[in-house]
Structure 1
Amino acid sequence: MKFKLVSTYSYSWPATARIPSETQPGKIEEQKFILRFEVEDRNTAIASAEAIAALPEKEQIAREHDLLRRVIKGWDDVEDDGKPVTFSPQMLEAALLFPWFRAAAYRAYANSLNGEEEARLGN
């Protein structure tokens, strides 16, 4: 496949949230879902990081997950009580409240940028 140079690059990537079990004390359950990312170019990422770094500490803390807010554009296989949860900025904010969602999202985004998942699967 030839390399495509586009202004906006969007793709889906698998994510795995490692969540404490509700039924088995001390056990972790893995819950898998798909995130839809729109990658930031290097200049945008640097400018965003610099803008946040210039803010007062309290505002920096409030914006610590802005990267995820900017790059996550959708999801699949996310549900509540067996019913699909439709992606929206409000639902993303609700998901960002949970540390296991944030960890899964950061890990998936980093792996997608580094090609780690593909390498681990031997492709």
Structure 2
Amino acid sequence: MKSINEQFAEMQKKTLESLEPMQNMNAVAAEAFERIARKNYELMGELVDYTVAQVKTPADPTNLQEAYEQRTAEAKAFAEKVNASAAEYVTLATELGEMAKAKAAPEAKKKAAPAKSK
């Protein structure tokens, strides 16, 4: 029969082993949060820049064609930035997915390995 100290030591070891996969995925989650938040921040900056440019575009009734052309050009440039950001989000999601798979792979191998008999 094991002593109380041996039982507590075994329990602590098993607890730490069970927490390891969560710690690995926590690192991935923290990285994902930071990268996505920074990408969102960048995109919101682009939105603010576009909105301010639209507001500053003169709306002088004597020069409506020029105002229309300027707003159209700004809208086209903004749409191109949003499309580029969408592609960057896809790349980011792929990278984060690969990172998660890489962190999960060692744990899957551990579970698949047969237990050593004592």
- Note whether the superposition's TM-score is higher than 0.5: no
Q: Which has the higher contact order (CA 8 A, sep 6+)?
A: 2
Rg larger for: 2
Q: Tell me which protein shows more helix as a share of its residues.
A: 2
**So what's the TM-score if we normalise by structure 2?**
0.27
